[in-house]
Structure 1
Amino acid sequence: MKLPIVHHPAYTADIPENHRFPMRKYAGVAQWLKETDPHGGLYEFHEPTPISRENLLRVHAKDYVDQVLCCQVPRAIAREIGFPMNESVSFRAQCATGGSLLTAMLALEHGIACNTAGGSHHARIAQGAGFCVFNDVAVAVRTVQTMRMASRVLIIDLDVHQGDGTADIFAHDASVFTLSIHSEKNYPVRKRASTLDVPLRDGMEDDEYLTILEETLKSVLATFKADLVFFNAGVDPHHEDRLGRLALSDDGLRKREDLVFRMVRNAGIPMAGVLGGGYSFDLGLLVSRHAILYQTAAKYL
């Protein structure tokens, strides 16, 4: 069986070349996947449709949704997001959110699926922040719940930054368990309480990180019975990442992904992977780190 991969060309939005966000990584990941699977035996690509306004309103405030769709986001909010809020950025957010919804639906059908974007976990109900326009995972979760495809959802967020927007959105919802394992002193300054937060000290390396992760997942999977798991596989905990404060190696990231997939799939739960954060000046190295998610996922189909 081929791993379902969700990708859209619009994931690469039109922003200035010198922008500090590595927008080209999305196309780079898709290209890497195709080049390493020349005969098409490992991956099956699916192109999502842009998320509907109706589905966005399941999570986000009406005024904010309409501001993004009309490209009329107030300057203060656009600054907090960090992108020029043009048509390309707006359409990218719609496609990436539609992509995470399609990824969830494919995961529920096939057991595992991955998006080549997604993980915009700083977007809150009333606005975006931190390079996140819409909270794609939250919108996907709310939509599959509304469609009665899943009832209880576990979100495993291993991006180096705390998933404050996701935590805020599901703060009073017992049907969604938000787990954030992140750098304690990193962005955002003001954290929001997840169902379970595991803040980590600066400079933590592979062995200690993996021990904490395994113990945490063992406890969460034993106590929260999920119908679907979303995995935010940000690679910014890497020691070379310019926005991270942890010290994982490439091998540590590979072991991390393997641990998460093995434990979740052994529990028999469908799993949707999203790309998450990763900020390196070397695009090739960044793409190769993100690619670990798909390499690992394909092993657990």
Structure 2
Amino acid sequence: MLKIAWSEIFAHSLPEGHRFPMAKYDLLPEQLLYEGTITEGNLFAPEPLAEKFILDTHDTTYWQRLSGLQLTPSEIRKTGFPLSEQLVQREVVIMNGTVQAALFALEYGIGMNIAGGTHHAFTDRGEGFCLLNDIAIAANHLIKYKNINKVLVVDLDVHQGNGTAQIFENEPKVFTFSMHCGHNYPFHKENSDLDVPLAEGTDDKTYLQLLKHHLPRLLDVVQPEFVFFQSGVDVLATDKLGKLGMTIDGCKERDRTVLELCKRHNLPVTVSMGGGYSKQIAYIIEAHANTFRLAQQFYF
């Protein structure tokens, strides 16, 4: 059964002025339920992640200052959100959503998080709407507690997964692959194990050719035991914070390529939704919904 992390806290703990496009965290499961792609039984509400699992990835001092609401104004500004107890609680629940989705993936082949993909969070700081790094926390959880020895991170958000790259820069058990717009946030890039910077306006054909060139080769060379897929839909031409030129159909083909390869290689995969900031929220919901539709199609 497809298991999907979702909680009301994903959208409802954010302050006024920051709820669009965060409304997608409520609208997406509503759409999937309405059309019959999922049932209530597919959804699970994660509890907050225990502190010890956060500290397997993040710096103790940073976590204490974050959870104690003691970040400086400059640090808070870089995260993009006003800091509050509710915001920290939201982040900790999202972290466990991805951890639990990873454990479900070991059992069912795939697990998904309506939220997550917080790839701009570093070991010791947050940036770009990310306070903690769910992909890194879940990957470290599998390595430390589930004897997974090789993880591949496939980050296809329009923005480079700079925090994830920094966290795993000296970890040979994790290979980070980021395919992103080269001239976009973050303006200082970290070094992923493989970075594929794209030109502004890159269209479906060019994007998909590159993905279909790199990803099969990575699976052969890296030989991962587990895949984390950051499936941000800010690659769309309609996105306010992205600079690529992809269509909804092209984004769907991107997801099909990743999930089909994972399924063919019998690789468990956890999907985190990542970014999506199109002016019309219907575009965001449709693009994200395609990822879940494909998961049902390929795995169940």
Please, what TM-score do these two structures have when normalized by structure 2?
Answer: 0.96
**How far does the alpha carbon of each residue in 1:122-158 deviate from its partner, in whole angstroms, 9 at most, with x for none?**
0001110000010011011111211124221100000
2:295 alignment counterpart: 297
Residue 99 of structure 1 corresponds to which residue in structure 2?
97
* Offset, 1:39: 7.9
What do you get for the CA RMSD once the two structures are aligned?
1.5
Partner AA of 1:226 in structure 2: P
Alignment partner, residue 3 of structure 1: 2
Amino acid corresponding to residue 120 of structure 1 in structure 2? T
What is the 5 A alignment of 1:258-277?
Answer: 258-277=256-275
Q: For residues 92 and 20 of structure 1, do their structure 2 counterparts lie closer, same or farther at Cα, with a shift above 3 Å needed?
A: closer
Partner of 2:285: 287
- Given that 2:119 and 2:135 are in contact with CA atoms closer than 8 Å, whether structure 1 keeps it comes out as yes
Map Cα deviations across residues 9-42 of structure 1 (whole Å, 9 max, x no partner): 111143343338622111111211221228839x
**Aligned partners of 2:260 and 2:112: how far apart in 1?**
16
What is the CA distance between 1:284 and its match in structure 2? 2.4
* Equivalent residue number for residue 15 of structure 1: 14
Structure 2 residue ranges without an equivalent (≥5): none
| Structure 1 residue runs of 4 or more that deviate by more than 4 Å after TM superposition | none
Question: Secondary structure in 2 aligned to 1:171?
Answer: coil
Does residue 25 (structure 1) correspond to residue 24 (structure 2)? The answer is yes
Q: Percent identity?
A: 35
Would you say 1:111 and 2:109 are equivalent positions? yes
CA distance in 1 between counterparts of 2:17 and 2:298 reads 38
Tell me how far 1:238 sits from its aligned partner.
0.3
- 1 CA distance for matches of 2:168 and 2:117? 15
Partners of 2:2 and 2:22 in 1: how far apart? 24
Residue in structure 2 matched with residue 134 of structure 1 by the alignment: 132
Which residue matches 1:60?
58
CA–CA separation in structure 2 for the residues paired with 1:207 and 1:285: 20
Rounded to whole Å, the distance in 2 between the matches of 1:162 and 1:236 is 12
Matches within 5 A, 1:41-190: 44-190=42-188
Q: Distance in 1 between matches of 2:138 and 2:151?
A: 11
1:236 — aligned with what? 234
Where 2:42 maps in the other structure, the secondary structure is: strand
The amino acid that maps onto 1:78 is I
Structure 2 counterpart SS, 1:269: coil
Residue by residue over 1:216-241, the C-alpha shift from the partner in whole angstroms, topping out at 9 and shown as x without a partner, is 00110110111110000000010000
2: CA distance between counterparts of 1:73 and 1:27? 29
Q: Which segment drifts farther, 2-11 or 106-115?
A: 2-11
d(CA) in 1 for partners of 2:56, 2:12: 25
The residue identity in structure 1 corresponding to 2:48 is P
Residues in 2 aligned to 1:39 and 1:111: alpha-carbon distance in whole angstroms: 17
Inter-partner Cα distance in structure 2 for 1:105 and 1:64: 27
Which residue of structure 1 aligns with residue 218 of structure 2?
A: 220
Change (3 A) 1:149 1:47: farther
3-state secondary structure, aligned to 2:126: coil
Q: Deviations over 1:84-124 (max 9, x none)?
A: 11122111100100101001000011001111001000000
Partner Cα distance (1:254, 1:147) in 2? 33
In structure 2, which of residues 198, 206, 209 is the aligned counterpart of residue 208 of structure 1? 206
CA contact (8 A) 1:13 1:88 kept: no
Residue number among 188, 195, 198 corresponding to 1:197 in the alignment? 195
- 1:158-193 Cα shifts (integer Å, max 9, x gaps): 000000000000001111010000000010011000
8 Å Cα contact 2:37-2:296 kept in structure 1: no
Aligned length: 299
The offset of 1:243, in angstroms, is 0.5
Q: Which moved more, 1:8-17 or 1:110-119?
A: 8-17
SS of residue paired to 1:198: strand
Query: What are the ranges of 5 or more consecutive residues in structure 1 without an aligned counterpart?
Result: none
